[in-house]
A and B are shown apart, each in its own frame.
Chain A
Amino acid sequence: MHNIWLIAKREYTERIKTKAFLIATILIPTLMGGGIFGIASIAARSKTTSHIAVLASQPQPAEDLKQELENGKNSKMTVDILPASTSHAVLDKEIDDKKIDGYLVIAPPTSGEDRPTFDYRPRSSADIATSEAIETALHKVLITEYLKGRGVSASETSAMMAPVTLNILGKNGEHGNSRTSFIVAYVLFFLMYMVVLLYGMNVARSIIEEKTSRVFEVLLATIKPDELLAGKILGVGAVGLTQVGIWMIAAAALAVTAGATSGITLTVPQVVFFIVYFALGYALYSSVAAALGAMTNSEQELQQLNMFLMLPLFLCMGMLLPVVTNPNSLLSVFVSEIPFCAPLLMELRISISMPPPWQIGLSIGLILVTIYAVLWVSSRIYRVGILMYGKKPNLPEILRWMKYS
């Protein structure tokens, strides 16, 4: 036990002291936070400001459309109303000269009951925002005009057009906030994904480092390979927990000072289960990584094998959507019980809607059994693998290693 502690302590203190740790701890949340704020602020300001021309023979609906596009909810465009006789060639020229972003031709209906036809020629057909804004505005203008023709007042019209709020209720009738729980679930999922991948690989790397620098031969003269393995997993794991801890505290501090404007709150079970599943997932993936590290001699060889680490994580990524949309389906229950996916997917289900306790218990049990099995195999591969260097082992050799005591 003392030896495991010494190994873990060295691993922890040496890693904490590195610049890489400091940079990752500060930079990753800064970048992620910056990214989220950036996307949010761009989304908030993404009202189109295009300048278009409208060719119409009659003032209506062109006037209302202009009003809607220039002062509407989602657009701040500039609209010029031109007579229908304006030459298209001249406008095409203006588009080429980038004076306008497009022009809309309103042709009156051929018979009284039909709607007018609308032809829009944009400068770039990829400018979806503008064409969608025009489409929405036209729809609104036509309905308003129709209602007006039927003698409905303007205030009544706007009341009718107001959007509907759908209240989503929790099981016991309280007002739930599904959007918040989705966001929390996603954030926790990706946090876990990243940390497990990052620190799992760190275990493999730290083993390879020891192999390439040949330190382990000195270490093995006093301690057992299992102790070395356990110490490494614990030490590197503690670094991961420290980093996530710092991020969480920073996030909490930020949320408090920002007056929790986002409305995102973490509940106690969410935090507890996150820690439990993080620890389990981390232990599981790092034992696999340790086995990979023990089998290889260099970082390059490790890169070739790290798909074994990535595959289950990719499976989890693929299952993200089905689980989020239907957290209690048979598929979701099944995949979230697979030990390699459970740390991510069961955790995800817990933060969306609490699964029955037996499912949580079963998943934790399965993970523990798998960790034990993987550790047993890894420590065997480790024991033999670290002393066999030079050539890359093939599968039969690895299987033979299992038999060595």
Chain B
Amino acid sequence: MPIVELKKIRKVYDTKVAVEGLSLTIEPGTMFGLLGPNGSGKTSSIRMMIGMTVPDSGTVSLFGRPFERGSLHRVGYLPEERGLYKKMKVLDQLVFLGQLHGLSEGTARSRAKVWCERMQIADAMEKKTEELSKGMQQKIQFIAALLHEPELIIMDEPFSGLDPVNAELLQDTLIELRKEGKAVLFSTHRMDQVERMCDGIALVSRGKLVLSGSMREVKAEYPKNRLHVVFTGDAGFLQHPEIEEAKNYSGVAEIKLRSEAGAQAVLAEAMARGTVITRFEVKEPTLEEIFIERVRASFGDEEARGIVDA
């Protein structure tokens, strides 16, 4: 039974199409990455997933049933725009948000304390939110989304604005939650993170799904046609006909081949020219490269550049 199932959802705001025929499925116990440049419809899709806005057409199912508000007690949500009551004490705030998610006051209070310890912000519990740093506030909001032990955790850009130490703390926490059998969905435009953490991905651009599936499936679709070469001497081998595209960063070359088999020919050419090779690696394309390629195929060069900027 999939935890989230979107079928051809579509949302139009006035004249702008935010989401166009998006379908995706998230299974329990998976870490799902929703990728896309800014303004590609990630947040709109997430909002429809939790019933904050209603799709113009298409269906949303949570936990195997058509969307109903009662299911929201099983969902934890961290919005992209963080917000907390500034004047409220941290603990009171967490208790309040926990109660809204259906917890009793006592349970909310004891769980909030445990989580604050776990996220290393126990000292802040009695402080007012406005006295805390932005990163700390983000951790509090993170806790608020998890207090009621949701089966589905949805986080919109959870790592933006965090220092590396805290980002890793959050990352590890999410990975632990996934191990406990919870489904985690997060949106980001940092491909490397997704590549490291996620089992399933969906790439959206201009409100449309460009690519989706498990990480293995997505990668398997693409040939191992990337070379990473570190060399000194003659760079003439980069002109080899098997090479479709090559970037030479003075002695470090990123090469895209026309076919998987071309690698040996390129190596032979380099040897023949007497170039000294210190490193020669055949790689699969990175998620970012796959994404750019797909977007370029669907929308042209300009849109693809937008992804790199994002």
Contacts and interface: CB of A to CB of B under 8 A. Distances in A.
A6 B96 CA distance: 8
Report, nearest first, the 10 A-B pairs whose CB atoms are least far apart. A214-B83, A217-B79, A221-B77, A215-B83, A214-B81, A213-B83, A222-B100, A220-B52, A222-B72, A10-B96
A218 B53 CA distance: 14
B196 interface: no
B305 interface: no
Contact of A218 (B54, B73, B102, B141): B141
Contacts of B72: 221-222
A222 B53 contact: no
Contacts of A119: none
Contact of A221 (B79, B82, B86): B79
Given A221-B52, A387-B53, A215 B85 contact: yes
A219 B144 CA distance: 11
Interface in A207-254: 210, 213-224
B28 to A, nearest CB: 20
A215 B88 CA distance: 12
Contact of B100 (A3, A214, A217, A387): A3
Contacts of B88: 14
14 contacts: A3-B100, A6-B96, A6-B100, A18-B87, A214-B79, A214-B82, A217-B79, A218-B77, A218-B145, A221-B72, A221-B77, A387-B47, A387-B52, A405-B54
Contacts of B86: 213
B26 interface: no
B97 interface: yes
Interface of A: 3, 6-7, 10, 14, 18, 210, 213-224, 387, 405
B185 to A, nearest CB: 13
A224 B82 CA distance: 19
Interface of B: 47, 50, 52-54, 69, 72-73, 75, 77, 79, 81-88, 96-97, 99-102, 141, 144-145
Contacts of B84: 213, 215
A18 B86 CA distance: 13
B114 to A, nearest CB: 20
B278 to A, nearest CB: 51
A247 B83 CA distance: 36
B96 to A, nearest CB: 5
B43 to A, nearest CB: 10
Contacts of A213: 83-86
Contacts of B100: 3, 6-7, 219, 222-223
Contacts of B79: 214, 217-218, 221
B53 A6 contact: no
A213 B99 CA distance: 20
A210 B86 CA distance: 10
Given A224-B69, A387-B52, A387-B53, A218 B85 contact: no
Contacts of A3: 100
A6 B98 CA distance: 11
A122 to B, nearest CB: 58
A18 B87 CA distance: 9
Contacts of A223: 100
A14 B96 CA distance: 12
Nearest to B156: A217
Contacts of B102: 222
A220 B53 CA distance: 10
A14 B95 CA distance: 14
Which of A222, A387, A405 has the most chain B CB atoms inside 10 A of its CB?
A222
Given A214-B81, A218-B77, 13 more contacts: A3-B100, A14-B85, A14-B88, A213-B83, A214-B79, A215-B83, A215-B85, A217-B83, A218-B83, A218-B97, A219-B100, A221-B52, A222-B72
Contacts of B52: 217, 220-221, 387
A205 to B, nearest CB: 13
Contacts of B81: 214, 217
Nearest to A220: B52
B94 to A, nearest CB: 11
A261 B82 CA distance: 58
A351 B152 CA distance: 59
B179 to A, nearest CB: 24
A387 B77 CA distance: 16
B87 A14 contact: yes
A380 B192 CA distance: 41
Contact of B75 (A214, A216, A217, A221): A221
B51 to A, nearest CB: 8
A231 to B, nearest CB: 10
Contacts of B50: 221
